[in-house]
Structure 1
Amino acid sequence: MRATPTRPPRRAVVDPEAVRAGERVPHGGETDPAVLDFSANTNPHTPDGVADIYADALEASRRYPDDAYPDFRAAAAAFVGCEPEAVVPTPGGLAAIRLAIETSLAAGDEVLVPAPSFGEYAREVELQGAKPRFVAHDELLAIEDAALESAALAIVCTPNNPTGEAIAFESLEAFANRCRTAETTLLIDEAFLGFTDRRSAATLAADHVVVARSLTKLFGLPGLRAGFTVASGTKRDTLETARRAWSLGTPAARVGAYCLRQPAFVERTRRRVERERERLREALEGRFDVAPSDAPFLLCDVGSRDVDSILESARADGVAVRDARTFRGLDSHVRVAIKDPAANDAMLGALGVDRTGSDGDADDFE
């Protein structure tokens, strides 16, 4: 077992050499409002009333926010099923991931990183001067004990981005128990779990587990930047001490708390995503190999077809899809988000796929 006391002390700063050698990670997201954006997995809807909450919060922004964020913590805790004290506010899910990584690693540490998965994991690990060890995302939970014991941190994404599979809670719990025995911190990224009705790992309340959550994908506000971590014991205390003061602006904190208390909106979103994901999967399988998914996106292997041509053709029809070749190990893939029926039909047409009929529930958000 790893001799934890002999390891270098933790640093909550990036490694200067790693920064100089590092690079930015490509992401989806379309800036042209005239283009249908299927490259980013965000809800096309926001809860009713958000604009009024934002307007009031903007006026309140003449003062610094309450750095304790009691209302935001309470709303986040109720949403994932933990105690408010376990919630640590962050400006987005990626900030939650960085906070967890920078407070868990020292230079030279090894980290188990799923692949293919979110590219920022490896980047954040490397920025700490640590070393990512890439493991197939669907094999990570079964990794041998020796490899787990040699790692300071293991990262799990559920549902995994870009493949889309969610991990059963019981499997996560068993892996968390193995990480405890190995003295390895476990970071669980649940950025897309809110699109499902699956239980959050936040309910584990384990001292060695950190859960990262993003609000802005589920509630259709990616530019707002609101998220949080959930942790217990000394790990929670470390995260709370290390987080930046006023880590959420007043608009993000108030809108985030409001959105987290909109269960009807969340349920409608989940119902639409589940229905449309199945419809799109059946249509896309007529042309591509489509991975199983519990997420608001589908990963498509285009086979021998030219990915660049597919991207360019879709763009010419006013649709942006994600070039998934930017994910480790994928060389013939695109990823498409799940939107509204009419937009989804436009995406299918842009990809040259026969459109299947919607079941007429396009008015879910009217």
Structure 2
Amino acid sequence: MDPDAVDSLLDAEGGPDTGDDSLAEGARVPHGSTDDPQILDFSANINPKVPEGATRVYQTVLPTARRYPADDYSSYRITAGDYVGCDPQRVVPTPGGLAAIRLAIQTTVRSGESVVVPTPSFGEYAREVRLQGAEPVFHAHDDLFSVDPADHAMVILCNPNNPTGDSYDPAALRAFAERCRDAETVVLADEAFLGFTNEPSLAGEDGVVVARSLTKLFGLPGLRAGFAVATGRLRDRLAAARRTWSLSVPAEAVGTYCMNQTVFVRQTRERVASERARMADRLADRFDVRPSDAPFLLLDAGSSDAVDEAIERARRQDIAVRDARTFRGLDSHFRVAVRLPEENDRLLTALGV
């Protein structure tokens, strides 16, 4: 979508007329997860625990879903502002983090422009850029700050990065965001996994759009709750283009409830950090384990055949792991989530470590 069209509130929901080629290039990308309840799923990075009381909240508000929600989502925005440390007026509710990513790209990037996309990283970034008729320019995620932002409409980053798990130094990240702001280049910061860390959010920084997902940290990927944060014209564009009633009544209520569960968040962070270190130590006996700040570990098996072997060993024990060879630049890797201790033990046994 042309940002100028958003400013004039014309066709705010639509996308650019880029033709069939752009849509064809935006083909679906592979993801982890399985819908088989008999499979122990280490392929998706979802918290296996849900805040106590979330089910009760859902059941309580479900009858009110017979009417449309209030579209200002005031309680949700106030809670989200507290959750990431920003003015609630800067929060734009979205049905999940990916919806926030699309909204940011859709309202910022014009057809024919270029966008810096980290690699290896979340495959949806390049897809969303192409759907706007723009060109993704791939750059190593761990060398992203060497990019000259003046040459591009947007720079996308994932913090912590998926699938590698490493997070950016906060001071260096803010310095880079300032360089981008000086160059009038928008930064899109995907913070889907930042809630698993103690690192500060970029929410509220001028020139930055933050995309947040609630569904991973709180173990509710099917709820589809998230939000974007921006300031000034960026925020106005997001708010203008946001779909009316973008959150369901249950998603708003459960999302608001979950963001207030500070003890749950603290306990989750502690458990993930402890189990991640234990798993990494065991897995290092057989694989090259990438240091991680996220609820997952990227493993280098040494060869593509070794990845096939690891996937098959896990499958024989009804366990799914993520084949990371679908990520750009990775040819001998797979990724495993950090789950509960007894579940992690099952994985370690299945992989022979």
TMscore range, shorter length: over 0.9
Matching residue of 2:229: 230
Matched with 2:89 is 85
In the alignment, the residues of structure 2 paired with residue 229 and residue 8 of structure 1 have an alpha-carbon distance, to the nearest angstrom, of: 17
Kept in 2, the 8 Å contact 1:93–1:213? The answer is yes
Q: Which amino acid counterpart does residue 164 of structure 1 have in structure 2?
A: G
TM-score, normalised on structure 1?
A: 0.91
SS of corresponding position for 1:202: coil
Letter in 2 for 1:92: G
Return the TM-score normalized by structure 2: 0.95
Distance 1:297 1:49 in 2: 26
Do the aligned partners of 1:10 and 1:106 also contact (CA within 8 Å) in 2?
no
Partner of 1:244: 243
Residue in structure 2 matched with residue 347 of structure 1 by the alignment: 347
The 1-side partners of 2:25 and 2:39 are apart by: 34
Contact 1:192 1:218 survives alignment (8 Å):
yes
Deviations, residues 201-260 of structure 1 (Å, cap 9, x unaligned): 1142x1x21000000000000000000000001110110010000000000010000000
**Per-residue Cα deviation, 1:39-65 (whole angstroms, up to 9, x for no partner):** 000000000111110011211101100
Partners in 2 of 1:321 and 1:59 — Cα distance? 38
Indicate the residue corresponding to 2:15 in structure 1.
13
Taking a change above 3 Å as real, the CA distance of residues 10 and 325 of structure 1, as seen in their structure-2 partners, is farther
2:190 aligned partner, one-letter code: D
The answer for the alignment partner of 1:361 in structure 2 is none
Instruction: Tell whether the 8 Å contact from 2:90 to 2:204 is kept in structure 1 after alignment.
Output: no
Residue 66 of structure 2 aligns to a residue whose secondary structure is: coil
Task: Give 1:62-73 correspondences, 5 Å limit.
Answer: 62-73=66-77
The answer to whether the 8 Å contact 1:97/1:189 transfers is yes
Q: 1:9 touches 1:106 (CA, 8 Å); kept in 2?
A: no
Residue of structure 2 equivalent to 1:109 = 113
Q: Which residue of the other structure, out of 26, 31, 39, is the alignment partner of 2:30?
A: 26
Corresponding position of 1:182 = 183
Runs of 4+ with deviation above 6 angstroms? none
Is the counterpart of residue 214 in structure 1 residue 213 in structure 2?
yes
List per-residue Cα deviations over 1:266-322 (Å, max 9, x = no partner).
000000000000000000100000111000000000003432222122111111000
Q: Using the alignment, how far apart are the partners of 1:98 and 1:228 within structure 2?
A: 11
Match of 2:134 among 121, 130, 136: 130
CA-to-partner distance for each residue in 1:76-124, whole Å, 9 max, x for gaps? 1100000110000000000000000000111111000000000000000
- What is the 5 A alignment of 1:280-359? 280-304=279-303, 305-353=305-353
| 1:183 Cα offset (Å) | 1.3
Q: Secondary structure at the match of 1:138?
A: helix
Seen in structure 2, the aligned counterparts of structure 1 residues 107 and 10 have a Cα distance that, compared at 3 Å, is farther
Q: Is the 8 A contact 2:25 2:130 kept in 1?
A: no
Q: Secondary structure at the match of 2:352?
A: coil
* Secondary structure of residue in 1 paired with 2:239: helix
- Once the two structures are TM-superposed, the CA of residue 10 in structure 1 deviates from its matched residue by 5.8
- CA RMSD across the alignment: 1.3
Q: Does 1:41 align with 2:45?
A: yes
Aligned residues: 342
What is the rounded CA distance, in whole Å, between the counterparts of 1:213 and 1:320 in structure 2? 26
Tell me the percent identity.
58
Q: Secondary structure in 2 aligned to 1:229?
A: strand
Amino acid at match of 1:99: L
Corresponding residue number in structure 2 for 1:359: none
Unaligned regions of 5+ residues in structure 1, if any? 1-6, 354-366
